[in-house]
Structure 1
Amino acid sequence: MVLLRRVIGDALRARRQGQHRTLREVSTAANVSLGYLSEIERGQKEPSSELLAAICDALGARLSELLREVSDTVALAEQLPGVLMPVQDEPAAAGPAGTVRKATGRGVRQVTTDGAVAVSVRQDSPLKATLRSSRVRPSDRDVVCAA
Protein backbone atom coordinates (compact mmCIF):
# COMPACT_ATOMS: atom_id res chain seq x y z
CA MET A 1 0.00 0.00 0.00
CA VAL A 2 1.35 3.43 -0.92
CA LEU A 3 0.78 6.23 1.57
CA LEU A 4 0.59 9.73 0.17
CA ARG A 5 2.51 11.16 3.13
CA ARG A 6 5.32 8.66 2.47
CA VAL A 7 5.57 9.60 -1.21
CA ILE A 8 5.57 13.32 -0.33
CA GLY A 9 8.27 12.75 2.28
CA ASP A 10 10.41 10.75 -0.14
CA ALA A 11 10.10 13.47 -2.79
CA LEU A 12 11.07 16.20 -0.31
CA ARG A 13 14.04 14.22 1.00
CA ALA A 14 15.26 13.48 -2.53
CA ARG A 15 15.14 17.17 -3.43
CA ARG A 16 16.94 18.19 -0.24
CA GLN A 17 19.64 15.55 -0.60
CA GLY A 18 20.02 16.38 -4.29
CA GLN A 19 20.95 19.90 -3.21
CA HIS A 20 23.38 18.52 -0.58
CA ARG A 21 21.52 20.41 2.16
CA THR A 22 20.96 19.36 5.74
CA LEU A 23 17.65 19.05 7.53
CA ARG A 24 18.73 21.96 9.72
CA GLU A 25 19.32 24.26 6.74
CA VAL A 26 15.95 23.52 5.18
CA SER A 27 14.04 23.59 8.46
CA THR A 28 15.50 27.03 9.27
CA ALA A 29 14.68 28.37 5.79
CA ALA A 30 11.12 26.96 5.94
CA ASN A 31 10.60 28.09 9.55
CA VAL A 32 9.65 24.58 10.69
CA SER A 33 11.22 22.57 13.48
CA LEU A 34 13.96 20.16 12.49
CA GLY A 35 12.18 17.24 14.16
CA TYR A 36 8.89 17.94 12.40
CA LEU A 37 10.60 18.22 9.01
CA SER A 38 12.32 14.91 9.71
CA GLU A 39 8.96 13.29 10.51
CA ILE A 40 7.50 14.68 7.28
CA GLU A 41 10.42 13.28 5.25
CA ARG A 42 10.00 9.86 6.90
CA GLY A 43 6.29 9.83 6.08
CA GLN A 44 5.20 9.94 9.71
CA LYS A 45 3.43 13.32 9.48
CA GLU A 46 1.31 14.89 6.77
CA PRO A 47 2.18 18.54 6.18
CA SER A 48 -0.52 21.14 5.65
CA SER A 49 -0.62 22.82 2.25
CA GLU A 50 0.87 25.99 3.78
CA LEU A 51 3.74 24.07 5.37
CA LEU A 52 4.36 22.10 2.19
CA ALA A 53 4.52 25.36 0.23
CA ALA A 54 7.02 26.80 2.76
CA ILE A 55 9.23 23.70 2.49
CA CYS A 56 9.11 23.80 -1.31
CA ASP A 57 10.02 27.50 -1.21
CA ALA A 58 12.97 26.70 1.07
CA LEU A 59 14.09 24.07 -1.44
CA GLY A 60 13.67 26.45 -4.38
CA ALA A 61 11.00 24.23 -5.91
CA ARG A 62 7.47 24.94 -7.02
CA LEU A 63 4.69 23.23 -5.13
CA SER A 64 3.17 22.16 -8.45
CA GLU A 65 6.44 20.42 -9.44
CA LEU A 66 6.51 18.46 -6.21
CA LEU A 67 2.84 17.49 -6.47
CA ARG A 68 3.33 16.45 -10.11
CA GLU A 69 6.23 14.22 -9.05
CA VAL A 70 4.12 12.72 -6.27
CA SER A 71 1.22 12.22 -8.69
CA ASP A 72 3.49 10.43 -11.19
CA THR A 73 4.77 8.12 -8.45
CA VAL A 74 1.26 7.24 -7.31
CA ALA A 75 0.17 6.70 -10.93
CA LEU A 76 3.07 4.27 -11.41
CA ALA A 77 2.14 2.46 -8.19
CA GLU A 78 -1.44 2.12 -9.43
CA GLN A 79 -0.17 0.16 -12.42
CA LEU A 80 1.49 -2.46 -10.21
CA PRO A 81 -1.00 -5.06 -9.00
CA GLY A 82 -1.48 -5.17 -5.26
CA VAL A 83 0.67 -2.14 -4.42
CA LEU A 84 -2.21 0.13 -3.47
CA MET A 85 -4.22 -2.58 -1.74
CA PRO A 86 -3.25 -4.52 1.38
CA VAL A 87 -2.05 -8.02 0.56
CA GLN A 88 -3.96 -10.85 2.26
CA ASP A 89 -2.50 -14.24 3.10
CA GLU A 90 -3.62 -16.78 0.53
CA PRO A 91 -2.59 -20.26 -0.55
CA ALA A 92 0.33 -20.57 -2.94
CA ALA A 93 -0.84 -20.20 -6.51
CA ALA A 94 0.63 -19.79 -9.93
CA GLY A 95 0.03 -16.42 -11.56
CA PRO A 96 1.03 -15.08 -14.96
CA ALA A 97 3.99 -16.76 -16.65
CA GLY A 98 7.00 -16.71 -14.36
CA THR A 99 5.04 -15.47 -11.32
CA VAL A 100 4.43 -17.46 -8.16
CA ARG A 101 2.56 -16.23 -5.09
CA LYS A 102 3.52 -17.96 -1.85
CA ALA A 103 1.77 -17.58 1.48
CA THR A 104 4.06 -16.71 4.36
CA GLY A 105 3.45 -15.77 7.96
CA ARG A 106 4.11 -12.11 7.15
CA GLY A 107 2.07 -11.82 3.95
CA VAL A 108 2.13 -12.94 0.37
CA ARG A 109 5.46 -13.14 -1.36
CA GLN A 110 5.31 -12.65 -5.09
CA VAL A 111 8.23 -13.88 -7.17
CA THR A 112 8.66 -13.05 -10.85
CA THR A 113 11.52 -14.07 -13.10
CA ASP A 114 12.36 -13.67 -16.77
CA GLY A 115 15.32 -16.07 -16.66
CA ALA A 116 17.96 -13.39 -16.07
CA VAL A 117 16.43 -11.38 -13.22
CA ALA A 118 14.20 -12.48 -10.36
CA VAL A 119 11.99 -10.02 -8.46
CA SER A 120 10.23 -10.80 -5.20
CA VAL A 121 7.80 -8.72 -3.18
CA ARG A 122 7.14 -9.44 0.48
CA GLN A 123 4.40 -7.66 2.41
CA ASP A 124 5.95 -7.16 5.86
CA SER A 125 2.95 -5.29 7.28
CA PRO A 126 -0.03 -3.37 5.89
CA LEU A 127 2.21 -0.33 5.50
CA LYS A 128 5.55 -1.91 4.58
CA ALA A 129 6.61 -3.99 1.62
CA THR A 130 10.08 -5.12 0.59
CA LEU A 131 11.04 -5.47 -3.06
CA ARG A 132 14.13 -7.54 -3.85
CA SER A 133 15.59 -8.03 -7.30
CA SER A 134 18.48 -10.34 -8.04
CA ARG A 135 20.29 -11.60 -11.08
CA VAL A 136 20.33 -15.31 -11.78
CA ARG A 137 24.13 -15.28 -11.92
CA PRO A 138 25.36 -15.41 -8.30
CA SER A 139 28.23 -12.99 -8.97
CA ASP A 140 25.85 -10.07 -9.52
CA ARG A 141 24.59 -7.86 -6.68
CA ASP A 142 21.06 -7.93 -5.22
CA VAL A 143 19.03 -4.74 -4.99
CA VAL A 144 16.61 -4.26 -2.08
CA CYS A 145 14.04 -1.47 -1.75
CA ALA A 146 11.67 -1.09 1.18
CA ALA A 147 8.60 1.11 1.22
Structure 2
Amino acid sequence: MSESNMGGTPFSIQKGVVPGSDGAKVREFRTGDRMLTTLMRDHVAGPLAKDAILSYLGAMEDGVLTNCSVYPQHGLVKIVDHLRMLEASTLSCAGLTAWTSLYGGHDLRPDDVVVTQGTGGVSLLALQVSSITPGQYTKDIEFCLTSC
Protein backbone atom coordinates (compact mmCIF):
# COMPACT_ATOMS: atom_id res chain seq x y z
CA MET A 1 0.00 0.00 0.00
CA SER A 2 1.42 3.38 -0.94
CA GLU A 3 1.66 6.23 1.53
CA SER A 4 -1.01 8.15 -0.40
CA ASN A 5 -3.45 5.30 0.20
CA MET A 6 -2.91 5.58 3.95
CA GLY A 7 -4.07 9.17 4.25
CA GLY A 8 -0.58 10.59 3.75
CA THR A 9 0.84 12.42 0.79
CA PRO A 10 3.20 11.06 -1.88
CA PHE A 11 5.01 14.42 -1.95
CA SER A 12 7.72 15.63 0.38
CA ILE A 13 6.52 17.76 3.27
CA GLN A 14 7.95 21.26 3.55
CA LYS A 15 8.08 22.70 7.08
CA GLY A 16 5.61 25.57 7.58
CA VAL A 17 3.44 24.54 4.61
CA VAL A 18 0.06 22.82 4.84
CA PRO A 19 -0.16 20.39 1.89
CA GLY A 20 -3.02 21.24 -0.47
CA SER A 21 -3.40 24.76 0.89
CA ASP A 22 -1.78 27.95 -0.26
CA GLY A 23 -3.58 30.29 2.15
CA ALA A 24 -4.56 32.61 -0.71
CA LYS A 25 -7.62 33.97 1.11
CA VAL A 26 -6.00 34.25 4.54
CA ARG A 27 -5.52 37.91 5.45
CA GLU A 28 -5.23 37.89 9.24
CA PHE A 29 -2.19 35.65 9.70
CA ARG A 30 1.25 34.94 8.30
CA THR A 31 3.42 31.82 8.33
CA GLY A 32 4.96 31.47 11.78
CA ASP A 33 2.25 33.40 13.66
CA ARG A 34 1.26 31.86 16.97
CA MET A 35 -2.50 31.46 17.26
CA LEU A 36 -5.14 30.17 19.62
CA THR A 37 -8.67 29.12 18.91
CA THR A 38 -11.74 31.00 19.96
CA LEU A 39 -14.11 29.03 22.17
CA MET A 40 -17.04 29.40 19.79
CA ARG A 41 -15.58 29.46 16.31
CA ASP A 42 -18.56 31.12 14.64
CA HIS A 43 -19.35 33.73 17.32
CA VAL A 44 -17.37 36.82 16.41
CA ALA A 45 -19.37 39.62 18.06
CA GLY A 46 -22.85 40.72 19.07
CA PRO A 47 -25.74 38.65 20.42
CA LEU A 48 -25.13 34.92 20.54
CA ALA A 49 -26.89 33.14 17.67
CA LYS A 50 -28.01 29.50 17.86
CA ASP A 51 -25.73 28.50 14.98
CA ALA A 52 -22.74 29.98 16.79
CA ILE A 53 -23.46 27.86 19.88
CA LEU A 54 -23.11 24.77 17.71
CA SER A 55 -19.54 25.81 16.87
CA TYR A 56 -18.43 25.48 20.52
CA LEU A 57 -15.16 23.54 20.51
CA GLY A 58 -15.41 20.18 22.26
CA ALA A 59 -19.19 20.01 21.87
CA MET A 60 -20.58 19.71 18.33
CA GLU A 61 -17.13 20.62 16.96
CA ASP A 62 -14.04 18.54 17.73
CA GLY A 63 -11.84 19.80 20.55
CA VAL A 64 -8.27 20.92 20.23
CA LEU A 65 -6.28 18.01 21.69
CA THR A 66 -4.71 17.21 18.35
CA ASN A 67 -1.48 17.60 16.43
CA CYS A 68 -3.12 19.25 13.43
CA SER A 69 -6.47 20.99 12.98
CA VAL A 70 -8.15 23.12 10.33
CA TYR A 71 -10.01 26.28 11.34
CA PRO A 72 -11.45 29.22 9.44
CA GLN A 73 -9.43 32.37 10.09
CA HIS A 74 -12.35 33.96 11.97
CA GLY A 75 -12.05 31.14 14.53
CA LEU A 76 -8.47 32.03 15.45
CA VAL A 77 -6.78 34.85 17.33
CA LYS A 78 -3.13 35.87 17.05
CA ILE A 79 -1.16 35.49 20.27
CA VAL A 80 0.62 38.70 21.23
CA ASP A 81 4.40 38.44 21.36
CA HIS A 82 4.82 39.05 25.09
CA LEU A 83 2.76 35.98 26.10
CA ARG A 84 4.27 32.53 26.39
CA MET A 85 2.26 29.63 24.95
CA LEU A 86 1.34 28.43 28.46
CA GLU A 87 -0.08 31.84 29.35
CA ALA A 88 -1.90 32.23 26.04
CA SER A 89 -3.45 28.77 26.32
CA THR A 90 -5.62 29.92 29.24
CA LEU A 91 -7.22 32.86 27.45
CA SER A 92 -9.84 31.28 25.22
CA CYS A 93 -11.61 29.49 28.10
CA ALA A 94 -10.63 30.78 31.57
CA GLY A 95 -9.87 34.28 30.30
CA LEU A 96 -13.11 34.55 28.38
CA THR A 97 -15.10 33.24 31.35
CA ALA A 98 -13.47 35.77 33.70
CA TRP A 99 -14.02 38.65 31.26
CA THR A 100 -17.66 37.68 30.72
CA SER A 101 -18.31 37.39 34.46
CA LEU A 102 -17.09 40.97 34.92
CA TYR A 103 -18.41 42.63 31.76
CA GLY A 104 -21.07 40.32 30.30
CA GLY A 105 -24.21 42.41 30.01
CA HIS A 106 -22.95 45.24 32.22
CA ASP A 107 -19.91 47.40 32.87
CA LEU A 108 -17.83 47.10 36.00
CA ARG A 109 -18.38 50.36 37.91
CA PRO A 110 -15.89 52.06 40.26
CA ASP A 111 -18.08 51.30 43.30
CA ASP A 112 -18.44 47.58 42.45
CA VAL A 113 -16.63 45.07 44.62
CA VAL A 114 -15.16 42.05 42.84
CA VAL A 115 -15.13 38.83 44.87
CA THR A 116 -13.68 35.63 43.48
CA GLN A 117 -13.83 32.16 44.94
CA GLY A 118 -10.71 30.03 44.97
CA THR A 119 -7.38 30.39 43.22
CA GLY A 120 -8.12 28.69 39.91
CA GLY A 121 -7.59 30.14 36.48
CA VAL A 122 -10.93 31.95 36.23
CA SER A 123 -10.60 33.52 39.69
CA LEU A 124 -7.05 34.70 39.14
CA LEU A 125 -7.81 36.09 35.69
CA ALA A 126 -10.91 37.88 37.06
CA LEU A 127 -8.71 39.43 39.75
CA GLN A 128 -6.15 40.54 37.16
CA VAL A 129 -8.77 41.96 34.78
CA SER A 130 -10.64 43.77 37.56
CA SER A 131 -7.39 45.27 38.88
CA ILE A 132 -7.00 47.35 35.72
CA THR A 133 -10.57 48.62 36.03
CA PRO A 134 -11.43 51.40 38.46
CA GLY A 135 -13.04 49.51 41.32
CA GLN A 136 -12.52 48.06 44.74
CA TYR A 137 -10.40 44.95 45.09
CA THR A 138 -7.72 43.74 47.44
CA LYS A 139 -4.12 43.17 46.48
CA ASP A 140 -3.52 41.42 49.80
CA ILE A 141 -4.01 37.72 49.07
CA GLU A 142 -3.28 36.79 52.71
CA PHE A 143 -6.14 39.07 53.79
CA CYS A 144 -8.45 37.24 51.41
CA LEU A 145 -7.38 33.85 52.71
CA THR A 146 -7.87 34.73 56.38
CA SER A 147 -10.86 37.05 56.18
CA CYS A 148 -13.09 35.64 53.46
Q: Tell me which interval the TM-score lies in, with the shorter structure as reference length.
A: under 0.3
More strand by share: 1
More helix by share: 1
Which of the pair has more CA radius of gyration? Answer: 2
The TM-score with structure 2 as length reference comes to 0.25
